[in-house]
Chains A and B, each alone.
Chain A
Amino acid sequence: MVTENLTQKRIFVDQSRCLGCKTCELRCAVERSSLSKSLPNAVQESILPRPRVYVEWDGKNSAPIQCRHCEDAPCLETCSTGAMQRDEKSGCVFVDGNKCISCWMCVMVCPYGVIAPAHEKHSADKCDQCFQMPQPHCVAACPTGALQEISAEDYALQLKQKRQLGLPT
């Protein structure tokens, strides 16, 4: 278990800005899963690239859902091979594909359903928040700024300010 660290950043969604355009899904698939790293070529690859973020709609609002990198991560607990690991600096949980035995226990236990059984990779597949990169690709791609990479504390502050101003949250 990681010591609670409010300054570590996570990806949060401003639902009032999310248009459900799924640009985040496209960018994630191209940048993190394709060989060509270009959209027109990626869609023609023999193994179809796979996004790790899922835009969901509750009938009223849409929001991209991805791995929350839980502090008390069930996937990390259940992984028997050590494929599921946590980066100490960012606190992000990531999959080491070389160690994964495709047992799909992590898929079962994830409370958000954001771990996918990627048969084509012989490994579980999930968002790692692009922790080795300057900025998550989905955040960079979001055309409305709905996706943000900020700390939970800062996000809570934002929400509070919006509520005080009567703005949509």
Chain B
Amino acid sequence: MRQVRRKTVDTAAKGYLLKAKNEGLQLSWNKYEGMLPQDGFSQLGLSCHECLQGPCRLNPFRPEESSTVCGLGKDELALAWLTRQAGENRELVASGSLMLAELKHSASSGEVERDLLQSKAAKWSVSGESLSDLVAGLSLKFAELAYPQTQRKMSRTSYLKSLGSQQITLVAFNADLAELLYGQCKSLPRLVGLAVLKEKAVNICLDGTNHSLQASALELSNELEEEAIQRGASDGLNIVLTGDFSTNFTFNTACNEGTTELAILTGLVDLYLIGDGLGRGRIPAEGYHTVVAAAVSTKEDLREVFLQGIAAYAQRDLRKVKVASQAEKVTGVYNLDPQKIKELLDQGLVKGICVIAGGSNLKLTEDQASLDIAKTLSHENILCLTYGNSAVTLAKYGYLNPENPGNSVLAAALNVEGAPLFYSVGGESDAGKILEILRVAGGNKAVAVFPELTIARDLQMALAIAQTGAKVYTGVQLPVAGSVNISEEIDKVIEYCGPKELTETVAKCFEGA
């Protein structure tokens, strides 16, 4: 791997990167450098693969190439990419549909907590006499939320913001369905770090899997424990997440999205299950015993996959095992009161809100920007919020560790136990909580940063936060530069800042507040 620049500031990475080099393994950074330069047309947003009359591209340096085969110009092409990303919700719809079917079954067999169902239904403006009426109402609501919006009389950026908000609302809806079905595990402490992978357990890594699959995984980990022990794994099955936390289950998290490969390089991952995640772990898995599988929709199919993982335990190459020793404690704060936050802002007891969010992007030095911003802001009188992969990133460096105290006065005002430096509202599926806080507390007092914006959900969240009036920044250039108009418009919604300027720019937003 050429040292184009520092890959990550994660100190745990160095040993594993050397390990990969010694084992002759290519990692995602090798893949990235090997394909440079990446496709310039796509980078500019000037290519289109929608139909078989293409793929079309518009050469920005040849003015005579002004439109695609079907007549789309530069603006339309750049906008098409943004619209597609902002509206992407296949996984949400699939996951929500599964849960609604399960909820219907649970309601009919009386397995749903009535009060909670009524409360959730009321939240979504659904009313009904019986449990089945409420479930039916929630199903209709789901269909309404999932239905593609049309632009009507909105401006382009308003439409994009609206689309993004729609998907995050769907995320919040699904989170409520999950709470109805699987409960909420409260803000129980858990661990983050490669050390959560156990030597004597069948380690199963879940990357971007939905609530239903996680529920099935938990059940199977109990049902198949004996099977695992018989195969020599005295600690049974150990299910961990990558790049996420769960508010429904007490799974530990091995790593953020950017360092999933390091988890595989420990030689301890027996099954790597890829749902909606990027699946970077599949790259080094080729050189290990790790079974790589795509997420499945039924428990029966998942059982088969789990059995493969249990069988793989015996295939571990003990010479390749490198056990990590570091793990940080983490607490989440799942029920922040938006109204209370608004009061603190109005009284001037809190200067503002900073949200750090988004994935891990190997085009940058991973984790650096998040850390720099966290270091700069966490000891100021600013409410620092995070969730999902960003929360995992900050947790790795101790920002969610209750033993590293932050502002105790703020914590007391918010009725939060301990005084975390950063407040994590949960996993990726809890993104809606951030929006709720901003809508009530006032988005104009907030700044959101997506230092390593990576996937469609990140973009959707950025747009949704922008709709609340908050200032949104990102450290990753969106592929729309091929259109001057769209670049200018989107920059007013999500502003790009180079890595060297991002922290300072964000900090300046709170000066004089």
A→B interface (CB under 8 Å) = 21-23, 25-27, 29, 39-41, 43-44, 48-51, 141, 143
A21, A40, A50: the one within 8 Å of B61 (CB): A50
B110 at the interface (CB under 8 A from A): no
B481 at the interface (CB under 8 A from A): yes
B61, B482, B487: the one within 8 Å of A29 (CB): B61
Residues of B within 8 A of A50 (CB): 61
**Bound CA span A29–B44, Å:** 14
**Bound CA span A44–B485, Å:** 10
B43 at the interface (CB under 8 A from A): yes
Residues of B within 8 A of A51 (CB): 61
The chain A residue sitting closest to B488, CB to CB, is: A44
* B37→A40 contact, CB < 8 A: no
* B59→A25 contact, CB < 8 A: yes
* A25→B61 contact, CB < 8 A: yes
* B39→A39 contact, CB < 8 A: no
* B482→A43 contact, CB < 8 A: yes
* B35→A39 contact, CB < 8 A: no
* A26→B61 contact, CB < 8 A: yes
**Bound CA span A51–B60, Å:** 10
* B481→A40 contact, CB < 8 A: yes
* B484→A40 contact, CB < 8 A: no
Interface contacts beyond A22-B59, A143-B37: sample of 9 additional A-B pairs, CB < 8 Å, sorted by A = A22-B57, A23-B37, A27-B37, A39-B44, A40-B43, A40-B477, A43-B60, A44-B487, A48-B63
Q: B-side binding surface: helix, strand, loop or mixed?
A: loop
B35, B41, B482: the one within 8 Å of A143 (CB): B35
The chain A residue sitting closest to B477, CB to CB, is: A40
The chain A residue sitting closest to B37, CB to CB, is: A141
Q: How far is the CB of A66 from chain B (nearest CB, A)?
A: 14
**Bound CA span A43–B44, Å:** 9
**Bound CA span A25–B37, Å:** 13
| A39 and B43 in contact, given A44-B487, A143-B35 (Cβ under 8 angstroms) | yes
Residues of A within 8 A of B481 (CB): 39-41, 43-44
* B61→A39 contact, CB < 8 A: no
**Bound CA span A49–B40, Å:** 15
The chain B residue sitting closest to A28, CB to CB, is: B61
B→A interface (CB under 8 Å) = 35, 37, 39-41, 43-44, 57, 59-61, 63, 477, 481-482, 484, 487
* A49→B43 contact, CB < 8 A: no
Residues of B within 8 A of A27 (CB): 37, 40
The chain A residue sitting closest to B481, CB to CB, is: A40
Q: How far is the CB of A84 from chain B (nearest CB, A)?
A: 23
Q: How far is the CB of B364 from chain A (nearest CB, A)?
A: 15
**Bound CA span A21–B57, Å:** 9
Q: How far is the CB of A145 from chain B (nearest CB, A)?
A: 12
Q: How far is the CB of A80 from chain B (nearest CB, A)?
A: 30
Residues of B within 8 A of A43 (CB): 44, 60-61, 481-482, 484
Residues of A within 8 A of B39 (CB): 21, 23
* B40→A26 contact, CB < 8 A: yes
**Bound CA span A133–B465, Å:** 47
**Bound CA span A140–B482, Å:** 23
The 7 closest A-B pairs by CB, nearest first: A40-B481, A26-B40, A43-B60, A29-B61, A51-B61, A44-B484, A141-B37
Residues of B within 8 A of A25 (CB): 59, 61
Residues of B within 8 A of A29 (CB): 61
**Bound CA span A27–B43, Å:** 13
The chain A residue sitting closest to B482, CB to CB, is: A43
Residues of B within 8 A of A26 (CB): 40-41, 59-61
Q: How far is the CB of A26 from chain B (nearest CB, A)?
A: 4
Task: List, sorted by A's number, 14 A–B pairs whose CB atoms are closer than 8 Å.
Answer: A22-B40, A22-B41, A23-B37, A25-B59, A26-B40, A26-B60, A29-B61, A40-B43, A40-B44, A41-B481, A43-B60, A44-B481, A44-B484, A44-B487
**Bound CA span A49–B487, Å:** 19
Residues of A within 8 A of B57 (CB): 22
Residues of B within 8 A of A39 (CB): 40, 43-44, 481
Residues of A within 8 A of B61 (CB): 25-26, 29, 43, 48-51
Residues of A within 8 A of B41 (CB): 22, 26
Residues of B within 8 A of A141 (CB): 37
Q: How far is the CB of B452 from chain A (nearest CB, A)?
A: 18
